Amino acid sequence: MNGFLQVFYVVFSAVITMMAVPNELLTFGSPILGMIALIPLFIAIYNSKSFKIAGHLTGLQLFLTHLLSSFWLGNFKDFAIFTLGASALAYYFFGFVFGNYLYAVFYYTDRNNPLKKFSVSCFKNPFTQILGFASIWTIYEWFKLTGWLAYPWGTLFMSCYKWHTLKQICSVTGVLGLTYLLALFSAVIAKGILLLPDVSKFKANDISLKSYKLTAVYCMTLFIVGCAFGVHEYKKQPEVVKELNVVMVQHNGNPWKPNGSKNIETSIIETEKGKAELEAQGKKCDIAIWNESVLSLGWMPEALNKIYKIFPRNISFVTYLENMDTPLLAGGPAHDEGDNNAQNAAILFGKDGSIVDFYGKMHLVPFAEEIPYANTKIVQKLLKRLLGFTNGWTSGKHFVIFTLTNEKGQDINFTTPVCFEDAFPDLCRELYNTGSEIFINITNDSWSNTKSAEYQHFVVSSFRTIEHKTTMIRSCTAGYSVVVNCNGDVIADMPVFQTGHLSTTVPIYERSNTIYSRYGDWIMAPVYLFVIFFFIIEFLWMLKEERKLQLAIQELYEENENDEEDQ
């Protein structure tokens, strides 16, 4: 395969991946496209002639996938140079490293044909190649989910949102179980395509053909078992033991032209409309939920006794809190006593208008909310030149669990992942294990100006409900504001980029510890073991081959010496 065709395959793979996840054309993506997205990449890497070429091809695929699926990061104003530009380049180099590992699977298993010429001898180890490819791709997406630079967008598992049965395996394996299955399916089909031209040369008992059939059966078995488990889980919902009457507000403000007073006024109006709707149904509002950016006029708690006693002018925020007789959860800057750095916080106000507690966002946006060495003079000077300012957020110090009482007198414990924290399985797992019965996410994605950004964030976060068999409320500046049940299905929502409110009753399920809640990403243990085992076996094989070569050379040398003596 020539270089131009390999590049075409990689571009094609990136386009399919982009279409598989939520995008401007397919609102919630396509699981079918997710199953075939890596086929062109597999073929392109298989036909590479060196580790370097395979690295560049994989880097290009990740680079293009990121640009095509997360193009809206370019709308992040002054930070676009970091959020889109720097991240796209990082994916290229990241892909180069992983591309070398992907190529190693083929390089070491095609022992008799290192130049990759098409012949029967090319296909000696389909089982190892297919499982190796799927395992390494799963490791790659695990890296995307983990650590300070984590960014779960553009991942294969996102394409499974509409596959209501299969995605239920997340309560056991987490989202990486979906990634592994999709990558495995692509690898099986791709290997079959590569085998097809020479299938007539195989004998019925050929080890390569048997290996491929075994792998295909293994793949289909996993899918069947996964779907059967999903059907069972989908039908069997946990018992609803409590209910929460909520009013969620979507004020739809412009984050680049903040108008704190207007945003609060709009939120007050929409809250009162929502409370009236619940009262008309004979229900009392248990909590009002505003979004991440609504309280922007000053830092809490000082601002509550100063700025918010005056603003908004029509009715001050403090006056409204004291008279609304309903707990309020809202986002805004806050700080601990003695700490002069602001945290991006979810703040709970009690019925009397006082601050009950707040949770400071712990996973800050890299290079936007948190910049390495931002306190050093050289970095501050650079930020001042590039962006015009040097300040940022400080991460929260600990997890916080809030408690409120519903109209029936039942206590409900909830946690509040802020902004894109609901996208990270490890962080939400820790929040859940504090004793949380429900996730309430407040976020501001309105700066993206695109529907695909809103729906991508929602889809990524929706898997948290399946992982822990719990409910999630998402109250956003411009959307996608929803209530999601324990199966990851939407049970109430609002249109994106519209001002409004949602008054609804939210089910609270009997709290249970799923396998994922207990053990997290345990699936990575067998994945890593397989990859390590593969490289150990191949290393031992190389030592064996080198020893055989040395013995052959020694025998040849001895034969030459004997010939010379005979002469």
Closest CA relative to residue 124, chosen from 135, 136, 113, 137: 113
Residue 246: in which H helix or E strand, if any?
strand 240-250
Closest CA relative to residue 358, chosen from 370, 378, 343, 371: 343
- Percentage of residues in the chain having pLDDT higher than 90: 70
Average pLDDT over residues 108-128: 54
Chain Cα centroid distance, residue 353: 36
| pTM (2 d.p.) | 0.90
Q: What integer pLDDT is reported at residue 86 of this predicted model?
A: 84
In this structure, the dihedral spanned by the alpha carbons of residues 417, 418, 424 and 430, taken in order and rounded to 10 degrees, is -30
pLDDT (tens digit per residue) in 30-68: 999 999 999 999 999 999 989 999 999 999 999 999 999
Whether 288 and 275 have beta carbons less than 8 Å apart is answered as yes
Which residue is catalytic, options 167, 191, 275, 361? Answer: 361
Average pLDDT over residues 184-199: 90
Q: What integer pLDDT is reported at residue 509 of this predicted model?
A: 96
- Percentage of residues in the chain having pLDDT higher than 70: 89
Confidence of residue 266 (pLDDT cuts 50, 70, 90): very high
C-alpha–C-alpha distance, residues 224 and 540, integer Å: 36
Q: What integer pLDDT is reported at residue 3 of this predicted model?
A: 84
Instruction: Name 235's Cβ contacts closer than 8 Å, sequence gap at least 6.
Output: none
Please say if 292 is a catalytic residue. Answer: yes
C-alpha–C-alpha distance, residues 499 and 335, integer Å: 30
Whether 332 and 347 have beta carbons less than 8 Å apart is answered as yes
Please say if 227 is a catalytic residue. Answer: no
C-alpha–C-alpha distance, residues 43 and 504, integer Å: 50
Whether 430 and 408 have beta carbons less than 8 Å apart is answered as no
Q: Given phi > 0 = left and psi -120 to 50 = alpha, else beta, which region is 488?
A: left
Chain Cα centroid distance, residue 377: 34
Confidence of residue 200 (pLDDT cuts 50, 70, 90): low
pLDDT (tens digit per residue) in 139-172: 999 999 999 889 999 999 999 999 999 999 999 9
Which residue is catalytic, options 265, 292, 421, 454? Answer: 292
Confidence of residue 262 (pLDDT cuts 50, 70, 90): very high
Does residue 381 carry a pLDDT above 70?
no
> Tokens in use for 51?
């580790």
Which residue is catalytic, options 160, 219, 285, 419? Answer: 419
Please tell me whether the peptide bond between 301 and the residue prior to it is cis, using omega within 30 degrees of 0: yes
* Encoded amino acid at 245, one letter: N
Please say if 361 is a catalytic residue. Answer: yes
Q: What integer pLDDT is reported at residue 294 of this predicted model?
A: 92
